[in-house]
Amino acid sequence: MILEFAKAVWFILPAFIANAAPIIGYKIFGKFNAPMDFGKKLGGKPILGPGKTWGGLLFGLFAGTLAGLVQTFFQPQGFPLMNTHLALLLSVGALTGDAFGSFIKRRLDFARGKSLPGLDQLGFLIFALVFAYPLAKLSLLQIAFLLMVTPVLHVGTNLIAFLLKLKKEWY
């Protein structure tokens, strides 16, 4: 059982990295960065808002794919086979899910950074799983496990980013 959960974590790792990395890209690109929606609005509300930038997106894709590349060197026997193609798919899925979450939050008049529990922690995961579905299939138990532990991990990594002063909110 534990082994099945470890395999699920191994498989989803690039998505986790891709979801956590954009804040670093945001800082690196600095004033050269641009919001993904270019500040445009839809019905008077931001399409995605200033928390979704091209620098963050690029860095997230890069970091998630790099994580997959590193994983290929440490591929354990019997674990889902990692490769850069899969890692890129998982990263694109994670970042699309994250942007989709912001799109929904802006429609609901949630300001940038305001949390919407559930969507914030699971949107990226669900999109990553769907995007990578054609390449690798997890069991229902493994998916249920990821849906349960991801919110906990998410709060944990946010807390670390907060303590490192990368984020203003601890959650």
Interface contacts to ligand CTP, rule CB under 6 A: 22-23, 26, 49, 51-53, 55-57, 95, 98, 102, 105, 112-114
Q: Are 98 and 72 in contact, with CB atoms under 8 Å apart? A: no
Selection from 84, 37, 45 nearest residue 61 by Cα: 84
Task: Closer to ligand CTP by CB, 1 or 164: give it.
Answer: 164
Residue nearest to ligand CTP (CB): 56
Shortest Cβ distance from residue 95 to ligand CTP (Å)? Answer: 6
CB nearer ligand CTP, residue 70 or residue 166: 166
Q: Identify which of residues 41 and 114 has a Cβ nearer to ligand CTP in the complex.
A: 114
Nearer to ligand CTP by Cβ, of 61 and 86: the residue is: 61
List, in order, residues 6 or more apart from 113 with CB less than 8 Å away. 51, 168, 169
3-state secondary structure 78-120: CCCCCCHHHHHHHHHHHHHHHHHHHHHHHHCCCCCCCCCCCHH
CB of 77 to ligand CTP, least distance (A): 35
CB of 123 to ligand CTP, least distance (A): 9
Min dist. Cβ of residue 100 to ligand CTP (A): 10
Are 85 and 135 a contacting pair, CB within 8 Å?
Answer: yes
β-sheet bridge partners, residue 45: 42
